[in-house]
């Protein structure tokens, strides 16, 4: 049972967006830039993408969960810790590993692209249709659900063996988020957990299918 | 019940036109409150409270939204207008304590309030600061009741509560559980510890507490606050599609809320039930249970059999 209603949750999203305005747009643009970089295939852009994802997860963990969501939900600090850990993982990837994250011309890549597009464009539309208020729309880069979906989509674009350890926290959050959405009777009741399970499943399948190690330059 | 609010004159000054307008818009509520409602005494101190209180889980966790806060102020105003007293909250309930404090600041007469909150933290050493934060949010100097929420680290928190009671900063000490959990542990605490009150789940379908806890509370002179009297609206989902039985009018029940609440508060060991609502109309229905007659033992059995038969 959640300690708030759907009405209160989306009211909170509206006030959060207003409090950090215009950063929701900037966060979305950061994710859009990361998506654009996946069209290039080299390790340097992979580091930049990882760095941009680190920023998105760090912001969502610290500002959204710890500073704002904790006002209405006692579990928010735990989510903050998980998001900060995920940000640290992406930062480590960006600094110390070469990562090729670019659009693959295969079904896994297609699924990844689909998730990326849905997180950037589809999710805000769904929120707007659900609430009727653009202020309460959740955008990738500064709110958890679309950031998680976007991340899962990008991870599906990894060349070679996918980095499964980078998908654990997004998967767990997608499952938790789905439970929360079910309690609130919010639209993402099925889309979040399905995306999480589906993306993780595809990554496992691809990992078993490919014999190549994670590429190094 | 005298108010335990600090800066009482500031509260009067802050009493707002919207609050007065809300009260003026509720003539039935004002007339209702003219007749004293059912009151129960806390056995250890003799302090009396109305038998229907108000919970704040989910319902008052509305954050900074000014519209939602204004609406909750109307709910709270109705509560007081209709003879309410016990307000129960907790740091676990998000912004509920802050919103309660805000709403109280908008209402001119809160003299009947019985402030009941909880301490909810793993670390015993964090208890005093959390309780102090609750005082700040409620804007009270003395809590009428401070409870250990879901028995979390109760041993260390009980020490703190006993100290604060000795210092006059808390009037009563309590322990809470919900959903029928940890009844054995609560029973041990009730039998051995110097507390004044317990809070537990009790309603017309969740009657486990009748077996041991309610008789023990009566024996030990402990007040009992019943949470989840509607099982978090589930009782309405289960039964409200069925018409109220005609004989419900014999006990003054005009709706299912009053039927469920009167069952709860008619148990002799129950001091108060704390239904939660975010709606003025539902608050009116709930507070309508604060009137005689209450079901006697045979009527209670009839009510329980009726529900079992549905």
With beta carbons under 8 A apart, name residues in chain A contacting B96: 3
Q: Which site among B55, B75, B93, B95 would you substitute to test the A interface, given the most A Cβ atoms closer than 10 Å to its Cβ?
A: B95
Q: In what order do the strands lie in the sheet with B170-176?
A: B54-55, B86-88, B114-119, B143-148, B170-176, B197-201, B223-227, B272-273
Contact across the interface for A15 and B232, Cβ inside 8 Å: no
A3 has a chain B CB within 8 A of its CB: yes
Task: Please state which of the ranges A81-95, A174-188, B98-112, B199-213 shows the lowest mean pLDDT.
Answer: A174-188
Contact across the interface for A72 and B92, Cβ inside 8 Å: no
Query: Number of Cβ pairs closer than 8 Å across A and B?
Result: 43
Confidence band (pLDDT; 50, 70, 90) for A96? confident
Are the C-beta atoms of B187 and B213 separated by less than 8 Å?
Answer: yes
Q: Please report where in the chains the tokens 């079992």 appear, as a residue.
A: B308
Contact across the interface for B94 and A73, Cβ inside 8 Å: yes
Distance from CA of B92 to the nearest CA of A (A): 6
Which residues are registered as beta bridge partners of B226?
B200, B273
Q: Which of A3, A11, A71 lies closest to B57 in CB terms?
A: A3
B58 has a chain A CB within 8 A of its CB: yes
State the Cα–Cα distance between residues A11 and B63, nearest whole angstrom: 9
Q: Across residues B42-66, what is the average pLDDT?
A: 97
A128 has a chain B CB within 8 A of its CB: no
**Per-chain mean pLDDT for chain A:** 90
**Interval A135-175: pLDDT, tens:** 999 999 999 999 999 999 999 988 877 788 999 999 999 99
**Interval B110-166: pLDDT, tens:** 999 999 999 999 999 999 999 999 999 999 999 999 999 999 999 999 999 999 999
What is the maximal distance between C-alpha atoms in chain B? 55
Q: Please report where in the chains the tokens 């509607």 appear, as a residue.
A: B230
Are the C-beta atoms of A154 and A116 separated by less than 8 Å?
Answer: yes
Q: Which residues of A66-79 are buried (b: 16+ CB within 10 A; e: fewer)?
A: bebbbbbbeebeeb
Please give the residue of chain B at the shortest CA–CA distance from A16: B64
With beta carbons under 8 A apart, name residues in chain B contacting A4: 58, 61-62, 94
Assign B279 to helix, strand or coil.
coil
Q: Which site among B62, B63, B99 would you substitute to test the A interface, given the most A Cβ atoms closer than 10 Å to its Cβ?
A: B63
Check whether B23 has a pLDDT greater than 90.
Answer: no
Are the C-beta atoms of A149 and A119 separated by less than 8 Å?
Answer: yes
Predicted pLDDT of residue A99: 64
Are the C-beta atoms of B107 and B76 separated by less than 8 Å?
Answer: yes
Confidence band (pLDDT; 50, 70, 90) for A63? very high
With beta carbons under 8 A apart, name residues in chain B contacting A71: 63-64, 94-95
* B167 vs A158, higher pLDDT: B167
Are the C-beta atoms of B150 and B180 separated by less than 8 Å?
Answer: no
- CB atoms < 10 A from the CB of B10, how many? 11
State the Cα–Cα distance between residues A161 and A171, nearest whole angstrom: 18
* B266 vs A42, higher pLDDT: B266
CA nearest neighbour of A142 among A38, A37, A50, A63: A63
* B26 vs B121, higher pLDDT: B121
Check whether B35 has a pLDDT greater than 80.
Answer: no
A78 has a chain B CB within 8 A of its CB: no
Report CA-CA distances (Å) from B291 to B50, B51, B258, B283, B294. Answer: 10, 9, 10, 14, 8
**Interval B198-247: pLDDT, tens:** 999 999 999 999 999 999 999 999 999 999 999 999 999 999 899 999 99
State the Cα–Cα distance between residues A45 and A217, nearest whole angstrom: 13
Contact across the interface for B65 and A15, Cβ inside 8 Å: yes
Please give the residue of chain A at the shortest CA–CA distance from B179: A1
Are the C-beta atoms of B95 and B62 separated by less than 8 Å?
Answer: yes
Q: Which of A1, A15, A72 lies closest to B94 in CB terms?
A: A72
- CB atoms < 10 A from the CB of B79, how many? 28
**Per-chain mean pLDDT for chain B:** 90
Q: Across residues A83-105, what is the average pLDDT?
A: 83
Q: Please report where in the chains the tokens 């920023």 appear, as a residue.
A: A55
A7 has a chain B CB within 8 A of its CB: yes
State the Cα–Cα distance between residues B44 and A3, nearest whole angstrom: 33
Please give the residue of chain A at the shortest CA–CA distance from B92: A74
The alpha carbon of B42 is separated from its chain's Cα centroid by a whole number of angstroms, namely 13
State the Cα–Cα distance between residues B181 and B243, nearest whole angstrom: 32
Check whether A189 has a pLDDT greater than 90.
Answer: no
Report CA-CA distances (Å) from B163 to A58, B156, B188. Answer: 42, 11, 21
With beta carbons under 8 A apart, name residues in chain A contacting B63: 8, 11-12, 15, 71-72
Q: Across residues A98-124, what is the average pLDDT?
A: 85
| Helix intervals (H) in chain A | 6-20, 23-37, 43-59, 76-96, 107-117, 123-131, 144-155, 168-184, 191-209
User: Strand pairing of B143-148 and B39-41?
Assistant: unpaired
State the Cα–Cα distance between residues A120 and A114, nearest whole angstrom: 10
State the Cα–Cα distance between residues B46 and B247, nearest whole angstrom: 34
For chain A, how far is it from start to end, CA to CA, in angstroms? 49
Distance from CA of A2 to the nearest CA of B (A): 8
With beta carbons under 8 A apart, name residues in chain A contacting B62: 4, 8, 11
A71 has a chain B CB within 8 A of its CB: yes
| Side-chain half-sphere exposure of A63, counting CA atoms within 13 A | 18
Q: Which of B65, B93, B278 lies closest to A11 in CB terms?
A: B65
With beta carbons under 8 A apart, name residues in chain A contacting B61: 3-4, 8, 72
Contact across the interface for A71 and B63, Cβ inside 8 Å: yes
Tokens standing for B27?
Answer: 């003539």
Q: Which of B61, B91, B232 lies closest to A8 in CB terms?
A: B61
3 state SS for B1-47? CCCCECCHHHHHHHCCHHHHHHHHCCHHHHHHHCCCCCEEECCCCCC
User: Strand pairing of B272-273 and B143-148?
Assistant: unpaired
User: Strand pairing of B39-41 and B48-50?
Assistant: antiparallel
State the Cα–Cα distance between residues A181 and A178, nearest whole angstrom: 5
With beta carbons under 8 A apart, name residues in chain A contacting B278: 5
State the Cα–Cα distance between residues B154 and B173, nearest whole angstrom: 11
Distance from CA of B98 to the nearest CA of A (A): 10
State the Cα–Cα distance between residues B249 and B229, nearest whole angstrom: 20
Task: Please state which of the ranges A30-34, A140-144, B20-24 shows the lowest mean pLDDT.
Answer: B20-24
Assign B224 to helix, strand or coil.
strand
Predicted pLDDT of residue B19: 42
Are the C-beta atoms of A204 and A161 separated by less than 8 Å?
Answer: no
Predicted pLDDT of residue B239: 92
Contact across the interface for A15 and B63, Cβ inside 8 Å: yes
Q: Which of A3, A15, A71 lies closest to B58 in CB terms?
A: A3
With beta carbons under 8 A apart, name residues in chain B contacting A15: 63-65
Task: Please state which of the ranges B15-19, B281-285, B288-292 shows the lowest mean pLDDT.
Answer: B15-19
Q: Give me the interface pTM, i.e. the ipTM.
A: 0.88
């Amino acid at each position: 049972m959640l300690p708030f209603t759907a009405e209160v949750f989306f009211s909170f999203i509206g006030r959060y967006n207003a409090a950090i305005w215009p950063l929701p747009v900037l966060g979305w643009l950061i994710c859009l830039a990361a998506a654009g970089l996946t069209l290039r295939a080299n390790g340097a852009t992979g580091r930049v993408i990882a760095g941009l994802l680190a920023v998105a997860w760090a912001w969502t963990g610290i500002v959204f969960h710890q500073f704002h969501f904790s006002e209405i939900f006692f579990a928010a600090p735990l989510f903050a810790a998980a998001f900060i850990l995920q940000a640290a993982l992406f930062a480590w990837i960006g600094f110390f590993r070469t990562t090729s994250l670019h659009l693959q011309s295969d079904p896994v890549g297609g699924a990844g692209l689909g998730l990326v597009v849905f997180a950037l464009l589809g999710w805000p539309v769904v929120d707007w249709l659900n609430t009727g208020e653009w202020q309460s729309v959740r955008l990738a880069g500064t709110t958890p659900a679309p950031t998680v979906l976007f991340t899962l989509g990008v991870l599906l674009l990894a060349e070679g063996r996918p980095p499964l350890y980078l998908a654990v926290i997004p998967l767990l959050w997608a499952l938790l988020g789905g439970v929360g959405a079910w309690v609130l009777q919010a639209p993402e009741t099925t889309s979040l957990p399905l995306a999480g399970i589906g993306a993780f499943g595809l990554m496992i399948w691809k990992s078993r299918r490919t014999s190549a190690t994670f590429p190094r330059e | 019940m005298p108010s335990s609010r600090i800066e009482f004159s500031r509260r009067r000054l802050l009493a707002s036109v919207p609050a007065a307008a809300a009260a003026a818009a509720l003539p039935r509520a004002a007339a209702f409150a003219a007749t004293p409602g059912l009151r129960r005494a806390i056995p250890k101190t003799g302090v009396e409270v109305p038998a229907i209180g108000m919970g704040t889980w989910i319902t008052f966790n509305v954050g900074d939204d000014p519209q939602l806060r204004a609406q909750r102020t109307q709910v709270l105003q109705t509560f007081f207008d209709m003879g309410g007293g016990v307000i129960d909250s907790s740091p676990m309930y998000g912004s509920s304590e802050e919103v309660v404090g805000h709403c109280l600041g908008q209402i001119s007469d809160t003299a009947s309030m019985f402030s009941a909150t909880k301490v909810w933290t793993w670390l015993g050493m964090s208890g005093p600061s959390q309780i102090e934060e609750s005082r700040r949010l409620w804007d009270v100097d003395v809590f009428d009741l401070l409870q250990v929420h879901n028995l979390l680290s109760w041993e260390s928190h009980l020490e703190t509560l006993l100290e604060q009671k000795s210092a006059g900063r808390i009037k009563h000490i309590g322990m809470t559980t919900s959903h029928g959990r940890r009844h054995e542990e609560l029973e041990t605490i009730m039998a051995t510890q110097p507390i004044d009150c317990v809070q537990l789940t009790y309603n017309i379908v969740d009657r486990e507490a009748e077996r041991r806890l309610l008789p023990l509370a009566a024996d030990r002179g402990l007040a009992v606050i019943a949470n989840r009297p509607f099982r978090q609206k589930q009782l309405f989902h289960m039964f409200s599609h069925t018409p109220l039985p005609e004989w419900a009018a014999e006990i003054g029940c005009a709706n299912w809320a009053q039927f469920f609440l009167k069952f709860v508060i008619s148990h002799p060991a129950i001091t108060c039930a704390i239904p939660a609502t975010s709606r003025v109309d539902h608050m009116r229905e709930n507070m309508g249970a604060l009137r005689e007659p209450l079901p006697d033992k045979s009527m209670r059995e009839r009510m329980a059999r009726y529900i079992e038969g549905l």
